[in-house]
Chain A
Amino acid sequence: MSGASRGAHLAIQGLYKRYGDVQALAPTDLDVAQGEFFALIGPSGSGKSTLLGSIAGFVPPSGGRILVGGVDVVSVPPYRRNIGMVFQNYALFPHMVVFDNIAFPLRMRKVAETEIRTRVERMLAVVRLEGMGARRTSQLSGGQQQRVALARAAVYDPPLLLMDEPLGALDKNLREEMQDEIKQFHRQIGATVLYVTHDQDEAARLSDRIAIVNHGRIVQVGAPRELYEAPCNSFVASFLGEANLFPIQSVAPAVDGTTLEIGGGMRLATTRKPPEAATGAGIMACVRPEAIGLNHRTSAAAGNTVEGIVDDAVYTAGMLRYRVRVSDSIQLTVRQPPGHAAHHAIPGERVVLSWRAEDTLLVPRE
C-alpha cells in the first residue's frame, strides 16, 4: 500500500521435516526474489503446508535454514517473525468486527489508536471494503471474508506474505474474480508472496514462478510457460495442464531426430534425442492436446500423422476437447479453439490427427 516496504528475499536452505517415520518435507532449497509472486503447487499431502508452516513458524523444522531478508528465522518465534499469513478458512476472529480484525496486528504492535485508524481505513480501501469496518465477519460473503484476511495479513507491511490455499473454499467464479484481486493486491503492497494452491490454472495466472511439489520434494521450478513447455518429468507434464503420455517400447535414430515405438504398431517422430543410449524404458513421450491438429490439410508435413475415431467431443470453456481412439489401447486427447478446426468432428467420425515432430516431448518417467 505505501509501497515503502519492498518485499524480502526468501532463501530456504536444506530445510526438512520429519514426523516420526514420515518425511513430510525432504531437504529442500528454494530462492524467492524480492517482490516475486511465487506459487507452490502439488497434490494434497505433498508437503506444501509443512513448508509454509515452517516459514511462518508453527512447524519446527527438523533441520535447515530459512532466511528472510538474509536473517535466519528458524529460532525466532512466529509472533516475532513479522511475516503475514492468509489461511484457507480465513481464520478471522469471530468475536471481533472487521475493523478490529484488521487492527489486531497493529494493536499487538502497540501502534497509536489514531494511526491504527488511518492504516486500517487505508487497508479497507485497498481491499474495497470501505465502510464495512463495523460489520461482523459473519455478515460478510466468502469473498469479502477473504479480503478481510488479506487486509489483516498485510496491514503491518510484512515483507513476506504466505498464503495457504486462500481461495480453496470459494466456488469457481468467485475464485477467478479473487485471483485478479490478489494480483492487484500484490502490485499495491509489493511484498514477496509465497502462495500455495493445488489449482494449476490459478498458479499460472498469478505467479512469476511456480515450484511443483511431490512427495515432500520440489520437483521443478520455473515460469509457468517453462514448466508447461519443458516439463522435467512425466509427473510435472501431467500435473500442469493435460498431457498425452506414452510409454516407449524402443527408440531408433532417424534422419533429423528419433523414431519412437509406442506399441500397437504406432511410431512417433520427435526432433529430440533421448538421454544417452536409452532403450526407452525410463522415458515417456508427451504430446500436449493443443499441439495436435485435427484434419489439417498440411498434415503430410507435420511429422506425425495418425488416424483415429472420435470417441467423444466436449465443449468446455472456449475449447473443444476430443478423445480420439487411435488403437485398441491408445486414446489421444485433442484440444482446439472452436473457430480453428475446419469443421467440428462428431463422435464416431474418422479423423486424421497430426503434429510437428518438435511437439513430441521426451520426459523421464516418474
Chain B
Amino acid sequence: MRVALPSFTALALVYLVLPSLIIVPMSFSNQLYLTFPPPGWSTQWYGAMQTDLSWPQAAANSFLIGVPTALLSVALGTLAALAVVRGRLRFAAAASALLVAPMLLPHVIIAIGLYPVMLDLGLLRGYLGVIIGHTVVAMPLVFITVAAALRTYSESLELAAMTCGAGPWSAFRHITFPMIRMGVVVGGLLAFATSFDELMLSLFLTGPGTRTLPRLIWEQMNAYLTPTIAAVATLILGFSLLLLAVVAVLQRARPVESQAP
C-alpha cells in the first residue's frame, strides 16, 4: 500500500499533465510545421509571435475580457453566496444548485442560448456580450469559494457586530469581508482563469476585433499548423500554472490577523 498509492498518484499526474507539457518542446522546434519530437531546436517562433500583430491583440482582448469578467463574477458571486448562506432563504438548497449549474452545463449549450440574445441586444462581437457570457460560467466559482468561506465561521460574528452598533454596510466591511477575503480573491482568480481559457463562448460571441487567445489559436490551428501556436500555448500554460500556484499559496495562508492597536 505504502508504495502503491504514491506510484498510482504519480502515474495519474503524468497521464493528466504530460499532454499539456508536450507543447513545450514543440514550441522550440526548428521546423515549419508542428512536429513531435522536433528534430532540431530554435526560439524563432517566440519572435514570430510578436511580429504577427494578431497575437498581441488577442492577448490584450483576453485581459480586456478576463479582468471585467472576474470583477463582475466577484460582485455577483459574493452577493449570491451571502444570500444563500446567511439569507435564511426557503429554497437555499435549490438556489445553490441553480447557481453552480452553469459550471456543469456544456458551454456549447450556453453559447447557443446566448447567441440570439446577444444578437437581439446588439452586443454580439463586442466586449460586453462576451464578458456577460463568461460571467455566466465564471460566477459559480466565486459563489463556491465565498460560500465555503462564509461557512467557516458562525453568523453570530455578524450579529455581535450589529449589537455593537455596526449597520449592515459596516458589519460587511469590518467583519464579513475580512473573514471571506481569501475566498473572494481565490474565486476572482479562478473566474479570471476560466475566462482566459474559455473557447466555446468566445467562438460564438466575439468578433474579429474582440477575439481572444484561445479563439485565435483555434483559428490558426485550422489554417496553418506553425509552431507559433505551440509557443503561444506554452506561454498560456505558464501563465495558468502561475495563477494556480497563487491560488494554492493563498488557500494555504492563514486567515488574516489584525495589527496591534
A82 to B164 Cα, complex, angstroms: 8
Among A85, A89, A96, point to the contact of B163 (Cβ < 8 A). Answer: A85
A85 to B160 Cα, complex, angstroms: 7
Q: Name B260's closest neighbour in chain A (CB-CB).
A: A134
A265 to chain B, nearest CB (A): 56
Provide 6 A-B residue pairs closer than 8 Å at the C-beta atoms, listed in order of the A residue.
Answer: A79-B162, A79-B171, A94-B153, A95-B258, A97-B257, A134-B260
The reply on B154 being an interface residue by CB < 8 A is yes
The reply on B216 being an interface residue by CB < 8 A is no
Q: Is the CB of A108 within 8 A of B165?
A: yes
Q: Is the CB of B163 within 8 A of A83?
A: yes
- The interface-forming segment of A99-107, A250-258, A349-357 is A99-107
Footprint of B on A, CB under 8 Å? 56-58, 77-85, 87, 89, 91-97, 99-100, 103-105, 108-109, 117, 133-134, 136, 152-153, 156
A93 to B158 Cα, complex, angstroms: 9
Q: Is the CB of A77 within 8 A of B167?
A: yes
A84 to B257 Cα, complex, angstroms: 25
Chain A residues near B171 (CB, 8 Å)?
A: 79
B226-261: CB near A (< 8 Å → 1, else 0) gives: 000000000000000000000000000001111111
A32 to B84 Cα, complex, angstroms: 38
A104 to B161 Cα, complex, angstroms: 8
Chain A residues near B166 (CB, 8 Å)?
A: 79, 104, 108
A277 to B255 Cα, complex, angstroms: 69
Interface centre among A57, A87, A95, A152, by most chain B C-beta atoms within 10 angstroms, is: A95
A18 to chain B, nearest CB (A): 15
The reply on B151 being an interface residue by CB < 8 A is no
A314 to chain B, nearest CB (A): 38
Footprint of A on B, CB under 8 Å? 153-154, 156-157, 159-167, 170-171, 174-175, 178-179, 255-261
Q: Is the CB of B165 within 8 A of A105?
A: yes
| Known contacts A89-B154, A103-B261, A133-B261; A94 and B255 CB within 8 A of each other | yes
Other contacts beyond A77-B162, A89-B156, A105-B165: 16, CB < 8 A: A58-B162, A78-B162, A79-B165, A79-B170, A83-B163, A84-B163, A85-B163, A91-B154, A91-B159, A93-B161, A95-B256, A95-B258, A97-B257, A97-B260, A100-B258, A109-B165
A117 to B258 Cα, complex, angstroms: 17
Chain B residues near A58 (CB, 8 Å)?
A: 159, 162
Q: Is the CB of A87 within 8 A of B159?
A: yes
Q: Is the CB of A78 within 8 A of B163?
A: yes
Q: Which 8 A-B pairs have the closest CB atoms?
A: A108-B165, A105-B164, A91-B160, A99-B261, A91-B156, A134-B260, A85-B163, A78-B162
Chain B residues near A152 (CB, 8 Å)?
A: 160, 164
B166 to chain A, nearest CB (A): 5
Interface centre among B167, B179, B261, by most chain A C-beta atoms within 10 angstroms, is: B261
| Known contacts A85-B163, A104-B174; A93 and B157 CB within 8 A of each other | yes
Q: Is the CB of A87 within 8 A of B160?
A: yes
Chain A residues near B157 (CB, 8 Å)?
A: 91, 93
| Known contacts A79-B167, A108-B170; A99 and B260 CB within 8 A of each other | yes
Chain B residues near A97 (CB, 8 Å)?
A: 257-261
Chain B residues near A81 (CB, 8 Å)?
A: 163
Chain B residues near A77 (CB, 8 Å)?
A: 162, 167
A289 to B160 Cα, complex, angstroms: 42
Chain A residues near B162 (CB, 8 Å)?
A: 57-58, 77-79
